Chains A and B, each alone.
Chain A
Amino acid sequence: MTVDKEEFARQEAELDELYREIIIDHYRSPRNRGKLPSPTVSREGFNPLCGDEITLDLSVADGVIVDVRYDGQGCSISQSSASMLTDAVKGKELEEARSLFRRFQAMMVGSGVADPEELGDLEALSGVRKFPVRVKCATLAWHTLDEALESLLQGKS
């Protein structure tokens, strides 16, 4: 078997981009993991194809996410993405969190409207784009967040 050296180097680089240290760190040392005793809203997300599960609890006061926890199981991408999400949305207003979801989503589908700079640590997940079958892993927690926000914003109006 002969492997083109350039092709091999390109694949290695892709792998490094996917599994950046910060992702492994969130996988190994999850932030805000667990459940809230009395969340304002709790939503479950499930990816039946790969078995990844996320439960997201939000505690909201005066339109601001004052606390957030996630629980679940799955691959490093789905779990680290959930962990990073909790860091990113804590202290944000509901509309701000929703705007962040949209920018994250845009980054994951590569539509180019996202400025990676303003996504902070979340930018680390941009490497997942090169792995189309894993994009669902990275977005699972975010779709769960979007559903939770939707129910809160609906309830308010």
Chain B
Amino acid sequence: MDGAQAVPHVAVDAQAIDCDFLAFSAHKMLGPTGVGVLYARRELLEEMEPFLSGGHMIREVRLEGASWNEVPWKFEAGTDNIGDVIAFGAALDYLTELGMGNVRAHEIEVTEYALRRMRQLEDVLMYGPLDVEQRAGVISFNFADIHPHDVGTVLDHEGVAIRAGHHCNMPLMRRYGVAGTCRASFYVYNTIDEADILVEALKKVRAIFKNDRR
């Protein structure tokens, strides 16, 4: 199961949902790039053969053959990405201390506020469910007559970082008949004030891209 999007935002109990494998990435949850977690049920890991050979993963090596170390070392050959693993640990401790329930509650609060304010901008098209409980802390939107990359450039200059484009999902963009969308996302460090700044920046986009034909 790909948990890269969910694990940073909601409490996930891998054993309770009884999944075989669960992967998630540090860079989406306050940690560094280049490190992540693969959770797997122990009995599966014990059955599996190593995929990489190197230091740590062997128990004994003879000319005639070798035996493997125990889980998890069997799969952690060579020199680990030690610094990033330690940094990710600190990020996980921080999130655990905040409490994943509180992380989710904060996201809902900011997202709900931003949704409400953005819906008041009459020419901003919103995608996804309007019920904030039914969505993550991301808001995809478009101006019907302005390319997402132009929106992104203006917002960037107003100090607002969003993502614009096809979001690794070209088939969905084709289904909506759009070149791409703009996507604002919120996490523990975003505030209600920043949602206001986003809305003001969107007004600036419209001010630059006046549409006299309406």
Contact = CB atoms under 8 A, between A and B. Distances in A.
Interface of A: 1, 3, 11-12, 14-15, 18-19, 24, 28, 50-51, 73-77, 131, 134, 137
A11 B149 contact: no
Given A50-B165, A51-B179, 5 more contacts: A3-B159, A15-B153, A15-B208, A19-B154, A75-B149
Contacts of A12: 157
Interface residues of B, number: 19
B27 interface: no
A53 B208 CA distance: 23
Contact of B150 (A3, A14, A76): A76
Closest 6 CB pairs of A and B: A75-B147, A75-B149, A15-B157, A11-B157, A19-B208, A76-B150
Contact of A134 (B153, B165, B180): B153
B209 A73 contact: no
Contacts, number: 42
Contacts of A75: 147, 149-150
7 contacts: A3-B159, A14-B157, A15-B153, A15-B154, A28-B213, A76-B209, A137-B149
A132 to B, nearest CB: 12
Contacts of A24: 208-210
B213 A76 contact: no
A76 B150 CA distance: 7
B166 interface: yes
Q: At the interface, is chain A mostly helix, strand, loop or mixed?
A: helix
Interface in B182-214: 194, 208-213
A19 B153 CA distance: 10
B69 to A, nearest CB: 44
A18 B153 contact: yes
B133 to A, nearest CB: 29
Contacts of A28: 211-213
Contacts of B130: none
B146 interface: yes
From A75, A77, A134, A137, residue with most partner B Cβ within 10 Å: A75
B100 to A, nearest CB: 26
B153 A131 contact: yes
Contacts of A131: 153
Contacts of B165: 50-51
A51 B146 contact: no
A75 B146 CA distance: 8
B57 to A, nearest CB: 39
A15 B205 CA distance: 10
Contacts of B153: 15, 18, 131, 134
Contacts of B209: 19, 24, 76
A130 to B, nearest CB: 10
Q: Could you say which of B157, B166, B209, B212 has the most chain A C-beta atoms within 10 Å of its C-beta?
A: B157
A28 B150 CA distance: 14
Most buried by B among A14, A51, A74, A131: A51
A154 B62 CA distance: 68
Interface in B54-89: none
Nearest to B146: A76
Given A11-B157, A14-B157, A50 B208 contact: no
Question: Which of B153, B165, B180, B209: most chain A CB closer than 10 A?
Answer: B153
A66 B106 CA distance: 62
Contacts of B212: 28
